[in-house]
Structure 1
Amino acid sequence: MAIKTSYLAKHVRTLKPSGIRKFFDATAGMTDVISLGVGEPDFVTPWNVREAAILSLEEGFTSYTANAGLPELREAIARYVDDYYCVSYDPESEITVTVGASEAIDIALRAVLDPGDEVLVVEPCFVSYAPLVSLAGGVPVSVKAKREHDFKVQARQLEAAVTGRTKAMMICSPNNPTGSMLSRAEMEQIAAVAKKHHLLIISDEIYAELVYDDLYTSFAALNGMKEQTILISGFSKDLAMTGWRLGFVCAPRELSQGMLKIHQYAIMCASTMAQHAGLEGLRHGRSDMADMRKSYRQRRNFIVQSLNDMGLPCYKPEGAFYTFPNIEATGLDSETFATRLLHAERVVVVPGNAFGSSGEGFVRCSYATSMSQLQEAMKRMRHFMKNL
């Protein structure tokens, strides 16, 4: 009898599927569903950005670009980062255009981790962080940002988690899924831990433009931190370009060139059409960003008030487009709450445990959908809560 063999690598066989995808799949075949689960703007990519892509095709720009990206796009990114993030990078050697911020995270981890190196992963966090650390041969170490601290990790927590194997810490601010944002003072305390232990900060700053009530600060802009920071961002959220898959990573030359080598072998280059679109967005898209941000702020205020009024305590997010209400008073765990809400009221939210064990007792609700849809979703959730 033949011996049954799996050709999949063990670390892939044991990899858990995305908790977000599970709930999207559950809606297949369902009608009249309102999704508060998707981390995607409901806006269409601005017309001038789409037109730039169309024009690039009409003019025959269909070949590969330089591996690191169009020189003029990298120059535009350098100007933008200098202006908004307040940190300077050489467009020729310190910036790589990637296939979304997701690829940037992947190549950053693969470039810096040796087998067994530990990465402090601040939770709750985006679903891909810990799996990508593992796939790069590293060991993810969860550090839980707590509700009583408004989901902002404390420097002393990171300090306590450092071991002789710790290589880096991964932080997203503004945060997905909580919307919390570290203040400059809090970041400086965390930076002091990184300096003390010679740790890299892999900083996911994809929501940097979606900040509502304060000024934005990048880890790379803190005194002496550029050399210890990998800055990751992209075009998906602030310019509503999720499907274009366009991001970028900025880092000191040695780190940047290491990531570029991986990018060359794995990807070659980001989509030429998307790069032309991104260039137009950086040159002439700031007003569109501001308009979207204004709309998100209005929606944030509405959904936070609504959730609190129906008995789901909700921290007021300072950035991104997510709320993270506490559902413990219902007596349900987060997955049961989300499943019952979906089947009873046709509203999709994401269980908090999809973002790490510290997310249990919460659900993520995205307000990147129209106000009319949000109003209907809140009406349905109120009905659900009354029936509970």
Structure 2
Amino acid sequence: MNVPISPTLAANEEIARRRKHGQQVVNLAFGEAGLPVHPALRDALAQASGKNAYGPVAGSVALREAAAGYWSRRGISAHPDLVVCGPGSKALLYGLLLALGGDVVLPRPSWVSYAAQARLVGVHPIMVAPPPGEGGVPDPELVAAAVAAARARGRTVTSLLVTLPDNPTGRLARPETVRRLAALARELDLTIISDEIYRDLLHDPAATFLSPAEVAPERTVVTTGLSKSLALGGWRIGVARLPETGLSEPPHASNPHASNPHASNPHASNLHGRLLGVASEIWSSPAAPVQHAAAYAFGEPAELVRRVAASRRLHGIVARAVAEHFTKVGAHLDDPQGGFYLYPEIAGFAGSAELAAVLLDRHGVAVLPGTAFGDAPDAARVRVATSQLYGESDEQRTAALHAEDPLELPWIAASLRHLEEALTALRIFG
């Protein structure tokens, strides 16, 4: 199987290559949190540096208990015995697709790795557009028909994946949409996988967030990690909350329980056990020192709660500033609501590939084309990540984190000027 490098990672390497050759590039392509590690987390990691033994496949008891507590504080029932830890939520998502089997319903657009992982597993991604103004969820009005059409072709469809809030659009699904999807999942006998890694980075902490695990806890898996909220991408740690009841084997038309949300499924099998089997053969167990630090983080001590709040504020300020620059040149985009992403559309281009190429080659601005996220080739939409604007050093990034107005910092202001000039020239070109 010929598997290309993930577009986000490939873009980051290309930017590094261009910069090495002296080209000035504003990096709006790579979705890394762009902030330094909190000193308390460094201390926690150092304290556990002597832990060099393999641990339980599911993860340490301390980490699973801490993760269960994290979800419980957010209104999601979670038992430590049904928490599985892995080397990043990305690995857990792949393990889940393997363990579940069957095709998966995805929003179009959606994070680059979802569809790629489905194909690696040997199943089909079923791409469904989101409701207008939303992102990260397939439109409930279209899901049933898409699943019915796939099953009519003899496909087995077992799961539906959502991202709350979303990458690439930066939008959050409305609670009523989540409720409708949960009801559909019961009717269609689908497992919901809810990727909530950006949950703690909603720009408005008072915004209404509804997880499908609150609506359909018996068939929802929730994944998260520390790569975004605490900028620990390189530490590679993620956790998954599994349902307390068994999840069905691939559904068949003859299954009399498929539309009954309260019926026990006679074909129920142990997703927890299947996922652990996959994990045992791929990563054995997460790195022990990182688990120790992650258990501390998921316990949410006051100093880390403050860090996440400061990060959320910074991400929101910079994302909104970048959105304003795109809006000024006539781009169509919805206001960012979470994380550090925008998904603007600019008229006058044959598609996202041309738009992204012109921005990079002529104007030194790196973005990702919408086609990387499953979007239509003729749609001139690109994913913009704003978190690499905070600085090139830990000192600059820390200053951005604590600045009253980070937009006034010289390095951020310079990048925004570069972007403004590029977009102005782009409008003339277009």
1:276-291 equivalent positions in 2, closer than 5 A: 276-283=292-299, 284=301, 285-291=304-310
Structure 2: unaligned runs, 5 residues or longer: 245-269, 391-406
Match of 1:160 in 2: 145
Measure the CA separation in 1 of the matches of 2:191 and 2:227.
25
1:324 corresponds, among 307, 318, 343, to 343
Match of 1:83 in 2: 73
Q: CA deviation at 1:118?
A: 2.1
Measure the CA separation in 2 of the matches of 1:206 and 1:233.
4
Match of 1:217 in 2: 210
Match of 1:229 in 2: 220
1:296 aligns with 2:286: no
Query: Secondary structure in 2 aligned to 1:171?
Result: strand
**What letter corresponds to residue 335 of structure 1 in structure 2?**
A
Measure the CA separation in 1 of the matches of 2:349 and 2:360.
17
Contact 1:143 / 1:157 at 8 angstroms: preserved in 2? yes
Q: Per-residue displacement from partner, 1:119-147 (whole Å, max 9, x unpaired)?
A: 1111101111112112223221111226x
Match of 1:363 in 2: 382
Contact 2:355 / 2:380 at 8 angstroms: preserved in 1? no
1:310 aligns with 2:332: no
Q: CA deviation at 1:334?
A: 1.2
Q: CA deviation at 1:374?
A: 4.6
1:266 aligns with 2:282: yes
Measure the CA separation in 2 of the matches of 1:68 and 1:384.
52
Q: CA deviation at 1:81?
A: 0.6
> TM-score, structure 2 length as denominator?
0.81
Q: CA deviation at 1:387?
A: 4.1
**Identity across the alignment (%):** 26
1:69 aligns with 2:59: yes
Contact 2:320 / 2:336 at 8 angstroms: preserved in 1? no
Measure the CA separation in 2 of the matches of 1:90 and 1:386.
53
**What letter corresponds to residue 384 of structure 1 in structure 2?**
A
Q: Using a 3 Å threshold, how does the CA distance of structure 1 residues 376 and 55 change in structure 2: closer, same or farther?
A: farther
Measure the CA separation in 1 of the matches of 2:103 and 2:297.
37
Measure the CA separation in 1 of the matches of 2:111 and 2:180.
23
Q: Per-residue displacement from partner, 1:269-292 (whole Å, max 9, x unpaired)?
A: 111121122122223221111110
Q: Per-residue displacement from partner, 1:306-345 (whole Å, max 9, x unpaired)?
A: 2101221221122121000102x13242112211211222
Contact 1:202 / 1:232 at 8 angstroms: preserved in 2? yes
Contact 2:147 / 2:157 at 8 angstroms: preserved in 1? yes
Match of 1:199 in 2: 190
Match of 1:33 in 2: 25
1:101 aligns with 2:89: yes
**What letter corresponds to residue 65 of structure 1 in structure 2?**
G
After TM superposition, the runs of 4+ consecutive aligned structure 1 residues lying more than 6 A away are: none
Query: Secondary structure in 2 aligned to 1:120?
Result: strand
Measure the CA separation in 2 of the matches of 1:162 and 1:265.
31
How many residues are aligned here?
365
Match of 2:363 in 1: 345
What's the RMSD between the two structures over aligned residues? 1.8
1:108-119 equivalent positions in 2, closer than 5 A: 108-113=96-101, 117-119=102-104
Contact 2:26 / 2:364 at 8 angstroms: preserved in 1? yes
**What letter corresponds to residue 7 of structure 2 in structure 1?**
G
Structure 1: unaligned runs, 5 residues or longer: 1-11
Contact 1:307 / 1:378 at 8 angstroms: preserved in 2? no
Q: CA deviation at 1:19?
A: 2.9
Contact 2:104 / 2:160 at 8 angstroms: preserved in 1? yes
Match of 1:132 in 2: 117
